[in-house]
Structure 1
Amino acid sequence: MALTMIMPGKKQDKDALSREARAWLLALTSGRATEADAAAFRSWLAANPAHETAFADQKRLWQGLGPALQEEQAASASRRARSPARHGRRAFLGGALAASAAYLAFRPPLGLWPAVDELGADYRTAAGEQRRLALGGALEVEMNTQTRINVAAAPDGASIIELADGEAEIRSGAVAAQVVAGKGRITARDAVFNLRYIGGEARLCCLSGTARLVHAQGVFDVGPDRELRYDDTRVQPPVKVNPDVVTAWRQGWLVFDQQPLAQVVDELNRYRRGRLVLMNDQLGKRLVQARFSLAQVADAEGLIRDAYGARVTHLPAGVVLLS
């Protein structure tokens, strides 16, 4: 992929930015993008705040084109039905390419680059990246890998944090922290808690002090070393957990205690470039008792091969099949 990289600080007019953002969108949705392309794209975004704004504008354009594309495809289908000889392979390919490009923009294959709808977050981390935020009022947030957070101001001037996806450790001071994840709102003062929100399920673990969850199902207080799980419709009772296991990621470790290998692979994928793809259902049911250093994650397939006899097949773009 050949795109002109604009160095930070170099002035660009709006039309040039739009063309560059559109070129990135087309490249990433071509179906030929690699992990190297994704890394270059992330560098381009970080080089200038105007780049992210321009790309967000292109995202909105794609979203606005969705209904129009559907109408055009329906009209094309009607025309082909009336005149099949005049509308053949070219018309079909045009509709298919438009549909597949729009799909890939919002559902990248195997998660090899950020989905378009992830790029509007106030703060985000890439695979393997961790980041610390100091939001004022003694409110601190440690973001784990592949995490998206939005921040808004409450009427009293405090920060309201939305954990859109991922995991974070949140430390509140005298001013209560307010955190939203899914259908739950967590408040905590002079407390530390770990919050994970992935795939519509949240796990709230209190590390010190007390965290309060307000949910459609009621109000729940969670004390130290207790964790509760919730989704949009239900809240499970708090259970005792080992906080060292929950926060192992803060020390550079992943700890698995009798978890199916399929779940382990899903978690490992959050910390590494490319993608591990489990092809064997029986292998995925094997229970894992293990402690991984985050430095080992890049060679996770070798550890799985040695421990479980998995067959490893390397594909382009960092995709690894485990069978």
Structure 2
Amino acid sequence: MSRDPHKSKDFSQEDEAIARVREDLKQRFPLPPPTPAKNKRPAGKTLGLLLLAIVAGVAWIDPAYRSEHVASQVGQRQALLLADGTQVLLDSNTEMTISWHLRSRQVELKAGQALFEVSPMVYRPFLVDAGLAVVRVVGTRFNVRRQEQDVQITVAEGRVAVRAAATGAVAALEPGQQLRVHKGQEARLGRVDVDDVTAWQQSRLVFESTPLEDVIDTLQRYHRQPIRLMDPRLARLPVSGVFDSGHVDRLLALLPGILPVRVSTAADGSVLIDSPGQKK
């Protein structure tokens, strides 16, 4: 196809005229400079950052996503195998709540005694809240006893960190050490025979110059009826010996033979321990 040279020339002249007019308009009416976007991100990226912030916040507060309540009856021991491989043995009349969190594994020991053999998980520590003290471990074997306002933590293997709830003080315990926290008193750290402390696994109660009030606290865990110390002056009397936790009544009957006390039974079935000179 042939081109018309005159027509091409006309188009060229028209383009040049339009270009001159455009440049003249730009100079007369300049456009404002474009406003730079301030931290403008694609919607997808913004949403991703928001979700990341939410996840980070959730991880920081460490919420629980599952929990269970367990309890043993008087005279019963209960063995548990947790989902992470941790083994827990509950002593008689023990109550606890186990909860699984994003960043930790937690137990609240409400009352009683338990022996823990914790499966190691570096990034999810195992915490035991016993009221007056909180135990933190990664993987170890230890015993915790909670009796009202008295808590005892004994380490059999590994190491544990114990924080006193009242003062915030932290103590590191090694095998053979026991920390006792009693309300209104300073925490006491000492060495003990771990086998004696954990002998309850074999239904044995080992006392070595143990104050009578502590003995009564221990016996109460295996006895359905209340055991009451009527004369507070008897509280510090020492008791020594090895006894069967399955026959607490026998031990109570033996007490007058090894201590200056009198044991009687009230109308409601309660066991009363009093001074020999006191009348019923």
Pair in the same fold by TM > 0.5? yes
8 Å CA contact 1:135–1:159 kept in 2: the answer is no
Aligned to 2:168: 217
1:195 to 144, 152, 155: 144
Query: Cα gap change, 1:288/1:163 in structure 2, threshold over 3 Å: closer, same or farther?
Result: same
8 Å CA contact 2:112–2:221 kept in 1: the answer is no
- The reply to whether residue 249 of structure 1 matches residue 177 of structure 2 is no
TM-score normalised by the chain length of structure 1: 0.56
Aligned to 2:75: 128
Query: Cα gap change, 1:128/1:188 in structure 2, threshold over 3 Å: closer, same or farther?
Result: same
- Once the 2 structures are TM-superposed, how far is the Cα of residue 284 of structure 1 from its aligned partner? 4.1
- 1:57-104 Cα offsets, whole Å, 9 max, x none, are xxxxxxxxxxxxxxxxxxxxxxxxxxxxxxxxxxxxxxxxxxxxxxxx
Where 1:145 maps in the other structure, the secondary structure is: coil
Aligned to 2:263: 312
User: 5+ residue gaps in structure 2?
Assistant: 1-67, 275-280
For 1:278 and 1:213, the matched residues in 2 are separated by 31
- The reply to whether residue 160 of structure 1 matches residue 111 of structure 2 is no
- 1:86-126 Cα offsets, whole Å, 9 max, x none, are xxxxxxxxxxxxxxxxxxxxxxxxxxxxxxxxxxx811122
**Quick check: which one's helix share is greater?**
1
8 Å CA contact 2:132–2:149 kept in 1: the answer is no
- Once the 2 structures are TM-superposed, how far is the Cα of residue 278 of structure 1 from its aligned partner? 2.8
8 Å CA contact 1:248–1:255 kept in 2: the answer is yes
For 1:239 and 1:260, the matched residues in 2 are separated by 17
- The reply to whether residue 172 of structure 1 matches residue 121 of structure 2 is no
- Once the 2 structures are TM-superposed, how far is the Cα of residue 194 of structure 1 from its aligned partner? 0.5
How many equivalent pairs are there? 202
Aligned to 1:265: 216
For 1:200 and 1:266, the matched residues in 2 are separated by 11
Query: Cα gap change, 1:307/1:191 in structure 2, threshold over 3 Å: closer, same or farther?
Result: same
Where 1:245 maps in the other structure, the secondary structure is: helix
Q: How is 1:28-177 mapped onto 2 (pairs within 5 angstroms)?
A: 122-156=69-103, 159-175=105-121, 176-177=125-126
In angstroms, what is the RMSD of aligned CA positions? 2.4
- 1:153-205 Cα offsets, whole Å, 9 max, x none, are 1114x531111122111111122422222153322233100111222332111
For 2:222 and 2:238, the matched residues in 1 are separated by 20
Query: Cα gap change, 1:314/1:201 in structure 2, threshold over 3 Å: closer, same or farther?
Result: closer
For 1:314 and 1:228, the matched residues in 2 are separated by 35
Report the AA paired with residue 150 of structure 1: T
Q: Report the identity percentage.
A: 25
Where 2:84 maps in the other structure, the secondary structure is: coil
2:240 to 286, 289, 309: 289
8 Å CA contact 2:147–2:217 kept in 1: the answer is no
- 1:261-319 Cα offsets, whole Å, 9 max, x none, are 23322321211121232334444443211211113213232111333364333334432
